Amino acid sequence: MSQHAAPHDPRVVIIGLGVVGAAVADELVLRGWHNVTVVEQGPLYETGGSSSHAPGFVFQTSPNKAMCELAQRTLDKLDGAEVDGRWVMKRVGGLELATTAEREQELRRRRDFAASWGVPAQLLAPREVAEIWPGLDTTHVLSALHTPTDAVVKGARAVEFQARRAEAGGARIISETQVTGIRRSGERVTGVETVPVGSDQEPDVIDADIVITCAGLWGPKLARELLGMDIPMLPVEHGFGFSTPLDSLTSLDEQTEVARPMIRHQGHGVYFREWGSRIAIGAYEHRTIPVEDHDITSPEEISERGGQASIHPFTRQDFEATWTEVQKLLPELQDAALDEAESFNGIFSFTPDGGPLLGPVPGIEGLWMAQSVWVTQSAGVGQVIAEWLTTGNPGIDTHGLDVSRFDPLLTSRRSARELGEESYDEVYDIIHPRATTLRLRGLRTSPFYERQRGRGAAFSSANGWERPLWYESNAMLPDKRPAVPMLGDSPMPTRDQWAAQFWSPLVAVEARRLRESVGLVDMSSLPRWELSGKGATDFLNGLADDGLLSRPVGRSVGSIVYALMLDDRGGILSDITIARTGEETYHLGVNGSQDAAWLWGRMRERSTVLHLADASSGSCGLGLWGPQARDVLAQLVEEDISHEAFRFYRSRSLSVGGVPVLAMRLSYVGELGWELYAPAEFGRYLWDALISAGKSQEILPVGRRAFESLRLEKGMRLWGADMTREHTPAEAGIEFAVRGAAQEKLKELGADRPARRLVCLTLDDPAMVLMGHEPVYHAQDPEGRPVGYVTSADQGYTTGLSLAYAWLPTELAAEGSAVEVSYFGRRLHARVAAEPVFDPTASRMRS
Does residue 152 contact residue 262 with C-beta atoms inside 8 Å? yes
What angle, rounded to 10 degrees, do the helices at 378-391 and 19-30 form? Answer: 40
Catalytic residue among 209, 575, 722, 794, which?
Answer: 575
Omega of the bond leading into 271 within 30 degrees of 0 (cis):
no
User: How many Å apart are CA 17 and CA 23, to the nearest integer?
Assistant: 9
The residue among 690, 624, 628, 614 whose CA lies nearest residue 659 is 690
Q: Helix, strand or coil for residue 240?
A: strand
Burial class (CB in 10 A: 0-12, 13-18, 19+), 550: buried
Task: Report CA-CA distances (Å) from 825 to 107, 122, 801.
Answer: 9, 11, 22
Catalytic residue among 146, 150, 268, 271, which?
Answer: 271
How many CA atoms within 13 Å lie on the side-chain side of 127? 0
Strand partners, 466: 461
Burial class (CB in 10 A: 0-12, 13-18, 19+), 471: buried
User: How many Å apart are CA 739 and CA 578, to the nearest integer?
Assistant: 15
The runs of H, that is alpha helices, within 620-739 are 629-634, 683-693, 704-713, 729-732
The runs of H, that is alpha helices, within 501-628 are 506-516, 536-545, 593-605
Q: 575 an active-site residue?
A: yes
**What is the end-to-end Cα distance of the chain in Å, rounded?**
45
Using DSSP bridges, classify how beta strands 82-83 and 122-124 pair: parallel, antiparallel or unpaired.
Answer: unpaired
Using DSSP bridges, classify how beta strands 210-213 and 367-371 pair: parallel, antiparallel or unpaired.
Answer: parallel
User: How many Å apart are CA 689 and CA 633, to the nearest integer?
Assistant: 10
Does residue 418 contact residue 440 with C-beta atoms inside 8 Å? yes
Does residue 365 contact residue 189 with C-beta atoms inside 8 Å? yes
Q: 271 an active-site residue?
A: yes
Q: 284 an active-site residue?
A: no
Phi then psi for 412, rounded to 5 degrees? -135, 165
Task: Count Cβ atoms below 10 Å from residue 192 Cβ, excluding itself.
Answer: 24
User: How many Å apart are CA 360 and CA 301, to the nearest integer?
Assistant: 32
- For the chain, how many residues are written? 847
Residues 6+ away with beta carbon under 8 Å from 303: 176, 197, 198
User: How many Å apart are CA 746 and CA 443, to the nearest integer?
Assistant: 42
Q: Which residues are catalytic?
A: 238, 271, 575
